[in-house]
Amino acid sequence: MSKWAYVNGRYLPHRSAAVHVEDRGYQFADGVYEVCEVLGGRLVDETRHLDRLKRSLDELRMAMPMSRAALGFVLREVVRRNRIGDGLVYVQVTRGVAPRDHVFPPDTVRPTVVVTARPAERGKTIERAEQGIAVITVPDNRWDRVDIKSVSLLPNVLARQAAKEAGAQEAWFVDGEGFVTEGAATNAWIVTADGALVTRSADHGILRGITRAGVFDLAARQGLRIEERRFTPEEAKTAREVFVTSATNLVMPVVRVDDAVIGNGVPGSVVTGLRRCFHDHVEIAALRRSRSAT
Ligand code: PDD
């Protein structure tokens, strides 16, 4: 099956989809992105993802490249054209193409908009969730505006690679005061001995995860207590359970932090329950007939 990508108003074969070498995303990482889960061909938490995209763009002093309705249409159209059942849809918005100069280009320069989609690696994710993943800890060497979902991900790339080389699946950043901020591409959580869910508050130190927000909703409905506070790797190593959240992993159990095995080394009941119920309360857009725009 041929794959499709949306680039600046056109649906193109994925293999030939490209942006210009002078794109500011390429030259300066001057852009933002979103990753939205697709379930049964429908977008999960579209409203929250588009809200966060708008917020990221506002922080970069960029306008939404098109109306929310139009962008929602494009996201669904890319999902439809790629025949994605369960998967992910990505959108990148950069400040556009202009001769290389750090200062903003003139207002006449249009932003670059790219939308791609891919199927979920279901088998792999289920296997991971059944076994639980390992995380390592690394110093947080990122800028202090990681609440902006910027395409500038070099520290995250290096951290994930370090995790891979250490036989782990995720790396947790640890701030200068010794507290966990978040993962390279996930939010970090622990479960205390008395069953409270602990995650860092969504200040500027972490990305305000949409899956994280979904777990807040779920916890409220299940009567689980959430403590929004910092925790150290040491607290995580002795926690009852540990997990991470993201659109790509949903609720993913962690069974090892550095060299410490969590609990008895298998996913615990709290995280397993959260994972099972995760989709019960999320916003899943009604199935809409997408007009084919060829
Ligand atoms: N990553 N923290 C960071 C640094 C992330 O990159 C992500 C998401 C999250 C979790 O956010 P959400 O629940 O909205 O996915 C936290 C996406 C999935 C990615 O870059 O692939």
Asked if 198 and 179 count as a contact pair (C-beta separation under 8 A), the reply is no
pLDDT confidence of 204, banded at 50, 70, 90?
A: confident
pLDDT confidence of 1, banded at 50, 70, 90?
A: low
Output the DSSP codes for 171-185.
EEEE-TTS-EEEESS
Ligand 1, residues 207, 215, 245: which to mutate, most atoms within 8 A of Cβ?
Answer: 207
Segment 219-247, tens digit of pLDDT: 999 999 999 999 999 999 999 999 999 99
Using the mean position of ligand 1's atoms as its centre, give its distance from the Cα of residue 183 in Å.
8
Q: What is the CATH number of the domain that holds 29?
A: 3.30.470.10
Using the mean position of ligand 1's atoms as its centre, give its distance from the Cα of residue 198 in Å.
18
State how far the alpha carbon of 126 is from the alpha carbons of 173, 204, 241, 267, in Å: 25, 32, 18, 12
In sequence order, which residues have a C-beta less than 8 Å from that of residue 84 and are 6 or more positions away? 38, 41, 117, 118, 119
- Which residue range forms the structural domain that includes residue 233? 125-281
Same domain membership, residue 147 and residue 270 = yes
Please state, in angstroms and rounded to a whole number, the distance separating the CA atoms of residues 3 and 83. Answer: 9
Active site residues: 149
In sequence order, which residues have a C-beta less than 8 Å from that of residue 205 and are 6 or more positions away? 144, 146, 147, 175, 181, 182
In a domain, residue 91? The reply is yes
With 60 as the cut, is the pLDDT of residue 288 above it?
A: no
Please state, in angstroms and rounded to a whole number, the distance separating the CA atoms of residues 92 and 25. Answer: 9
Quick one: which atom of ligand 1 is closest to the CA of 248?
18
Segment 130-187, tens digit of pLDDT: 999 999 999 999 999 999 999 999 999 999 999 999 999 999 999 999 999 999 999 9
Quick one: which atom of ligand 1 is closest to the CA of 187?
16
Segment 255-280, tens digit of pLDDT: 999 999 999 999 999 999 999 999 98
Same domain membership, residue 196 and residue 82 = no
180 beta partners: 174
Enter the tokens of residue 49: 């993802």
Same domain membership, residue 116 and residue 32 = yes
Q: What is the pLDDT, as a whole number, of residue 29? A: 98
| Amino acid in position 196 | A
In a domain, residue 271? The reply is yes
Closest listed residue to residue 78, CA positions, set 34, 108, 133: 34
Helix ranges, the chain (H): 24-28, 46-59, 68-81, 122-131, 154-165, 210-222, 233-237, 269-277
pLDDT confidence of 203, banded at 50, 70, 90?
A: confident
In a domain, residue 291? The reply is no
Segment 73-82, tens digit of pLDDT: 999 999 999 9
In a domain, residue 220? The reply is yes
Ligand 1, residues 140, 187, 243: which to mutate, most atoms within 8 A of Cβ?
Answer: 187
Residues with Cβ within 6 A of ligand 1?
A: 35, 156, 182, 185-187, 207, 209-212, 245-248
pLDDT confidence of 294, banded at 50, 70, 90?
A: very low
Which of 66, 100, 120 terminates a domain? The answer is: 120
Nearest CA to ligand 1 atom 3: 185
Quick one: which atom of ligand 1 is closest to the CA of 184?
4
Q: What is the CATH number of the domain that holds 249?
A: 3.20.10.10
Which of 74, 98, 120 terminates a domain? The answer is: 120
Same domain membership, residue 181 and residue 274 = yes
Same domain membership, residue 175 and residue 149 = yes
Same domain membership, residue 142 and residue 105 = no
Q: What is the pLDDT, as a whole number, of residue 122? A: 84
Nearest CA to ligand 1 atom 5: 185
SS3 7: strand
Asked if 236 and 242 count as a contact pair (C-beta separation under 8 A), the reply is yes
Beta 133-139 vs 170-174: how paired, if at all? Answer: parallel
Which of 61, 88, 120 terminates a domain? The answer is: 120
Using the mean position of ligand 1's atoms as its centre, give its distance from the Cα of residue 209 in Å.
6
Across the range 183-211, mean pLDDT stands at: 96
Asked if 204 and 147 count as a contact pair (C-beta separation under 8 A), the reply is yes
Closest listed residue to residue 21, CA positions, set 92, 100, 91, 93: 100
- Chain-centroid distance of CA 101 in Å reads 30
Give phi and psi for 67, each to the nearest 5: -65, 160
Closest listed residue to residue 77, CA positions, set 236, 280, 291: 291
Using the mean position of ligand 1's atoms as its centre, give its distance from the Cα of residue 2 in Å.
27
Q: What is the pLDDT, as a whole number, of residue 286? A: 59
Please tell me the total count of domains within the chain. 2
Same domain membership, residue 140 and residue 262 = yes
Ligand 1, residues 32, 46, 141, 186: which to mutate, most atoms within 8 A of Cβ?
Answer: 186
With 50 as the cut, is the pLDDT of residue 290 above it?
A: no
Same domain membership, residue 116 and residue 135 = no
Query: Which secondary-structure segment (H or E) carries 36?
Result: strand 31-39
Please state, in angstroms and rounded to a whole number, the distance separating the CA atoms of residues 220 and 218. Answer: 5
Asked if 151 and 90 count as a contact pair (C-beta separation under 8 A), the reply is no
In a domain, residue 293? The reply is no
Same domain membership, residue 163 and residue 270 = yes
